[in-house]
Structure 1
Amino acid sequence: MKRGVILLVLLLGMFGCKKNKPTPPRDYTPAKTALIFPAKDEACNTGTTISDTKNTVIFRWNGAENAERYELVIKNLATGIYMVPLTTFNTQIEVTLTKNTPYSWYITATSSRSNNSTKSDVWKFYNSGPGFVSHAPFPTDLLAPALKEIIPAAQGKITLNWSGSDVDNDIVTYDVYFGTSNSPPLYKKDHNESILYNLSILPSTTYYWKVVAKDSKGNTSDSEVSQFLVGDIQIICGQPYTDPRDGITYNTVNINGGCWLGENLKYTNNNTVGINYGNSTAIYNDYGRLYSFNEVINSNIAPPGWHVPTYSEVDNLSQYLFQRYGSNYGGTLKSNTSNLWAPPNSGANNVTGFNAIPSGYYFNGIFDYGGYRFYMWTSTSQGLEGGQAFSLYTNSTGISVGSYTGAFYFAVRCVKN
């Protein structure tokens, strides 16, 4: 009986005890360092002068939990150059700086027991030196969009956001520089907010920007130049495409693997390119815009992701249509559902969906052949001042090609890149 009791106790001990979970390893990642001095966005007038242009400043910070070593990183904001980082096991270090110069600084805390390091906040200060009264603003922090950020193309607009600071707290305005050059041009002068809304952007384009802060004493400081990229626009052939420059939507059509606009281009660039047939807004809605050859090759009239077709591209289209449809190959491009074509509109069946309409032309002060002929520029030059164009006639089932002086204004159809 006694041995049975002992056996029962042993069995209960074996199956009744649960295994303890292992204790997770301790995280020795250093905590974030709290900075003390030089104070944020203030003038530093302390330190030991060692020359007319130099003095020493003692940087101080609080010790951080788990930290064994600290790295001090200082940047000269006037030159944009970082000083050689300084390492210490203490919570202060003396550094020689240039007087009357803005700086930024931060601390990186590390530990031999962790592969992780922790960066403190970044503080700016002005190393004034004795007797210095007026301070230029600190270089502006560019907040959004972030450096090298990729912006979705469908967004179409961008908002710039930045932060300015000044020891004297007397920033009055900002000059904003923005464009596609890495030395961007002035976009907005004397802007009195630290945000700028609704700047137009185009797909597949890199933009650059900077901000100049100006204070009440006339002092200025430039930010660094930042950049961001607008992504490619998604074009699905057979579905409507909206031009991000002006919001106009076009039908698109696939013909033999090429994606074409199914309507005449209507881009005006704020009425600086092209002309309406008969100077009529009502006709523009049907005919689109007529353009000179100079505008075709020099004014970037094609929407992002598209281009004005070359002679070869239109010729290949023409040959494909002839091989497939025979002598009525021109009729396959002509609209047959509108009353825009004057009779007889020979062979029109629009089986391609190209939907060509008789938008005519403008030349030497005269609008002509509206309702009777469709002319379309290519981007291929012919001679010194002209280009090649294709055309469709109401009384023909074919496609014509010719060379024209650049003073003619024709319609434009674009093809996807």
Structure 2
Amino acid sequence: MKSKLILLLICLSAIFSCSGEFIASKSGFINLSAPDGKCEEGSNDPTNENKLKIVFSWDPSESTFENGELIIKDNQTKETVETLPINVNDLFTEITLDRNKWYSWQISATEQGASKPVLSDEKMFYSELILVENAPYPVLIKPIQNNTEQVIFEWESPQEDPSRDNLRYKTYYTDKAVSEDTPISSLTFVEREVDVTSSTYPKRVTISTSLLEAGINYLKVESILTNQNNTELKSTSYWKFTVSSNP
């Protein structure tokens, strides 16, 4: 009798397994592919030099989705800057964003037959094409102080950087105010000499407002890695800020 009962339990277990009951499935899971850290696929916006067309892609899922949204947030403010409807089953889409900014992105989508959407993981990326192999990640610039006497900025890498132990930085600023729609590529910068390396903490630059014009200005931070061939690999971050008046 005991052996028959064990056999019956085994048969029931096999039936439930074949029908899909009690088996954890990967269905409903969306795995983001790119961009992740550095943008390697995209193109310039021919109508606006300060915009970049970026290709977003994700891996196929075992499920079919009825609808979905791609959500993009400003990585510093955490505010949502874009929420776009997508066909999740297409596996990619192209979106135009402001250049030289850190963003995060994820997908929210409803699986066919389900009542609630699933949310993918979240990835960060910098909105500029960085195609040089082993180039350092652009830094995340944070304004610390902005008054009539000086502006202070700090920066850090927003994610693990394999080059972090061998980096140095150069900082630059625009000494002439520019218009809101001035292309970054046409800006003229003056170097603000600082002695900052990967071991410096905090990584900071202070600029007197006497060196700046009232209006819109830019800070540029260049991350530099010297490889074994004595070649400099670079990436650049920008921060737009406003000076209200000079002392």
Rg larger in 1 or in 2?
Answer: 1
Which has a greater percent of strand? 2
Q: Shorter-chain TM-score: what band?
A: 0.3 to 0.5
Q: For CA contacts below 8 A with separation 6 or more, give which structure has more relative contact order.
A: 2
